[in-house]
Amino acid sequence: MITSKELTGHGEINFTGGTDVTPIVEVLYGSLYQFAFGLTRSESDAADLVQQTFLILIQRLDQIRDFAKIKCWLFTTLRRNFFIKIRRHRKHPEVEFLPDVHDFPAGDPEAWRSLDAQKIREALLQVDEAYRVALELFYLSNLSCREIGETLEIPIGTVLSRLSRGKEQLKLILSERFYGDGGMQRMRGSDIPKR
């Protein structure tokens, strides 16, 4: 049996266990809410925390052995839930939705996938033709170095040389386009996708 004298220092209330937690809610809701409001500084968040705490009480009612310590258990549970919410908020902060910033036209998803590819193709057009042809055959047509050599009727060593010099030119063009005139660090060779 819980007495409200034990809980709040006022008159008595009988609670012998069971499934009806109304007496506990009536006696402790106010003090739990004040504690939660002190933690959250928000009325709605405080009410949510108290509601969550009482939900956990109902879910674990059969596990509670000593109802004389229910007040301490409820405050500890509320505080624990508050810290869990804080940790979750730090990992996944809330972001205000701004339509003019966050609202992208849905459109065709293929257009979004090809946006970067389009920029690469534009940069590729600026590469010297001899190098560009080798790059296009290698990356866009998926030909091997041997097949490129046969197609262009040049030795494999020349194909490898043109691919290497073409990649360097492409890196330089992309670096200047996206990072300005050399103010940023040069792109590394590992930044270019390899087949």
Residue 120 tokens read as 């690469």
Same domain, 125 and 84: no
Residue with the bigger pLDDT between 27 and 93: it is: 27
CATH number at 27 reads: 1.10.1740
Rg (CA), the chain: 34
- Has residue 101 been placed in a domain? no
> Is residue 46's pLDDT more than 90?
yes
At residue 113, the pLDDT reads: 54
CATH of the domain at 129: 1.10.10.10
Q: Other C-beta atoms within 10 Å of 159: how many?
A: 23
Alpha-carbon distances, residue 101 vs 9, 116, 161 (angstroms): 55, 20, 45
* Same domain membership, residue 77 and residue 156: no
Res 10 pLDDT > 50:
no
The pLDDT assigned to 142 comes to 85
Q: Are residues 114 and 184 in the same domain?
A: yes
Across 53-77, average pLDDT: 90
**Does 31 reside within a domain?**
yes
Do residues 121 and 70 both lie within one domain?
Answer: no
Predicted model pTM: 0.44
Domain match, 86 and 114 both: no
Band (pLDDT 50/70/90 cuts) for residue 162 is very high
10 and 68 in a single domain? The answer is: yes
In the chain, count H helices and then E strands.
Answer: 9, 0
Kindly give, in sequence order, each residue whose CB lies less than 8 Å from that of residue 84, ignoring residues fewer than 6 positions away: none
Q: Which residue from 17, 79, 22, 73 is spatially nearest to 46, judged by alpha carbons?
A: 79
Domain boundary among 35, 63, 91: 91
Residue 161 pLDDT exceeds 80: yes
Range 172-191 burial, b when 16+ CB lie within 10 A, else e: bbbbeeeeeeeeeeebeeee
Residues 6+ apart with CB under 8 A from 9: none
Range of the domain at 83: 4-91
Query: In this predicted structure, what is the pLDDT of residue 11?
Result: 42
Residue 103 belongs to some domain of the structure: no
Both 114 and 180 in one domain: the answer is yes
The pLDDT score that the predictor gives to residue 187 is 42
Would residue 99 count as lying in a domain? no
Q: How many CA atoms lie within 13 A of 39 on its CB side?
A: 24
Task: Work out how many domains the chain is built from and give that number.
Answer: 2
Residue 146 sits in the same domain as residue 172: yes
> Is 73 a member of any domain?
yes
Flag whether 74 is in a domain.
yes
At residue 185, does pLDDT exceed 60? Answer: no
